[in-house]
Chain A
Amino acid sequence: DQQVKQNSPSLSVQEGRISILNCDYTNSMFDYFLWYKKYPAEGPTFLISISSIKDKNEDGRFTVFLNKSAKHLSLHIVPSQPGDSAVYFCAATDSSYKLIFGSGTRLLVRP
Chain B
Amino acid sequence: DTAVSQTPKYLVTQMGNDKSIKCEQNLGHDTMYWYKQDSKKFLKIMFSYNNKELIINETVPNRFSPKSPDKAHLNLHINSLELGDSAVYFCASRDRGNTEAFFGQGTRLTVV
Interface residues of A (CB under 8 A from B): 32, 34, 36, 41-46, 49, 87, 89, 93, 96-101, 103-104
Contact = CB atoms under 8 A, between A and B. Distances in A.
A14 to B, nearest CB: 25
Contacts of B33: 99
A55 B56 CA distance: 30
Interface of B: 4, 31, 33, 35, 40-45, 48, 56, 90, 92, 94, 99-106
Contact of B99 (A42, A43, A93): A93
B48 A98 contact: yes
A46 B44 CA distance: 16
A43 to B, nearest CB: 3
Contacts of B4: 43
B104 A43 contact: yes
User: Which label, helix, strand, loop or mixed, suits the secondary structure of the B interface?
Assistant: strand
A31 B85 CA distance: 32
Contact of A43 (B40, B100, B105): B105
Nearest to A87: B41
Nearest to B101: A99
B23 to A, nearest CB: 11
B42 to A, nearest CB: 6
Contacts of A36: 103
Contacts of B40: 103
A37 to B, nearest CB: 11
Given A43-B104, A43-B106, A96-B56, A104 B41 contact: yes
B98 to A, nearest CB: 9
Contacts of B99: 32, 34, 49, 93, 97
B90 A44 contact: yes
B94 A46 contact: no
A93 B94 CA distance: 13
Contacts of B41: 87, 103-104
A89 B43 contact: yes
Contacts of B31: 97
11 contacts: A42-B105, A43-B90, A43-B104, A44-B103, A46-B101, A87-B41, A97-B99, A98-B48, A98-B56, A100-B45, A104-B41
